Structure 1
């Protein structure tokens, strides 16, 4: 019984780490990367839809993304979605394709991006600690119902803490990698 519960909470923590990694990927690091568009939604016949599902996104050179909508009428909607996003880049629309030119990062912008990724990392750690708290509360509830012993409870609390520490270290490793990437550019 305890092992299935561990797996449930372990899976939740792993999912949180993946979410943090995806948020990091969405932070533009001075070079063109289609993942920066992942969070930007376009109104496609009344439904918010990711750009990658309504257009071809390519990178003709390291500092440019080119977005070619499959439906020409979406060009204006995609341009508007990019302008209202937090991407900070003005799209160039020639009627058929939209180009995004990524400028060289300034020192100030690098620091802003590092602050942003640190915030994402901290939010991820908070989510992981919340998962641990929920797990410990569930185990205490089982103890109250006499489903597990006091020793089982102590063991479960220790195992959850170890899992939490490991997950936080994984997030720290992702953060260090992203910070290095931002400083190298």
Structure 2
């Protein structure tokens, strides 16, 4: 995606979707922290994980990685959502794959359909680029989040991986990440 596009949600809210820039980094880090570690949104992990979810260095590295597409959703002049995809090498069956991550919607605007639209925009870009499988790692202990992904075409593949962050931040020892995938073709 090289230009901004305007979308509507099921609640009539319009947002603009565009590639993230270096100027977005501070607000983007705040948005992600609020969604993952803040209070008030249904996507928070604060009851399971301490610490920060991302930092400016990680986001700048994403912006510099040619395999990454980092999109932001704006409502007016404010960042309301974001997500990245990172293209991975083809799997042993020759399918091009991408990982979805840093997927966040500001708690004040959650449950309006913005997350679903953001996810579908990323899926559309990947499909057009020939990617066959979209993968995400979902924190265990979040059945409502896994249910949301199932409603959006993902299925658990029966694989779990270790928690991607600092294991000392876990409030539940041994918590890992369940791998879910969605076919795009």
Which category of TM-score, normalised to the shorter sequence, fits these structures? under 0.3
TM superposition score normalised by structure 1: 0.21
**Structure 1 or 2: larger helix share?**
1
Structure with more relative contact order (C-alpha pairs < 8 Å, separation 6 or more): 1
Instruction: Point out the structure with the larger strand share.
Output: 2
TM-score, normalising length from structure 2? 0.21
